[in-house]
Amino acid sequence: MRFGRAKFFIVVDMETGETKTVDNGISMNALQGAGIQAAETASKLGAECIITGNLGPKASKALNAAGIKTFQCNGGTVEEAIQKFKNNELSSLDMPNVEGHWQ
């Protein structure tokens, strides 16, 4: 439910519906900087937006700097989250909605 500590990412091409699973184990297990590392991974993957449960301050700052939009969706399946995104039913996360991991 927290972007930087997610076990993996599912990358979806919204035009073709093609999906790809990307391991985020390095960030998930990082002592510090998980959000920044995860944001770098998302940027390298060419992500234009992120759907997540929660977004910490470092991840939020890094994603905003990369021009990647963020949206909140708590619970449900990936398919349900994508459908909510398509229907404009997700809240935008313009700022962090949780404190840093060590705070």
For 1-103, list the strands marked E by DSSP: 8-12, 19-23, 49-52, 69-72, 91-92
pLDDT for res 3: 87
Chain segment 54-77, per-residue pLDDT in tens: 898 989 999 999 999 999 998 899
Q: How far apart are CA 81 and CA 5, in angstroms?
A: 18
**C-beta separation of 51 from 74 below 8 A:** no
pLDDT for res 100: 63
Residue 97 lies in a domain: no
pLDDT for res 103: 44
47 closest CA partner among 69, 72, 28: 69
pLDDT for res 18: 93
Question: What CATH number is given to the structural domain containing 56?
Answer: 3.30.420.130
pLDDT for res 101: 56
* Count of domains forming the chain: 1
Domain span including residue 58? 3-92
pTM over 0.95? The answer is no
Q: Mark the ranges of the chain whose per-residue pLDDT is less than 50.
A: 102-103
Sign of the four-CA dihedral 75, 48, 98, 34: positive
Residue 62 lies in a domain: yes
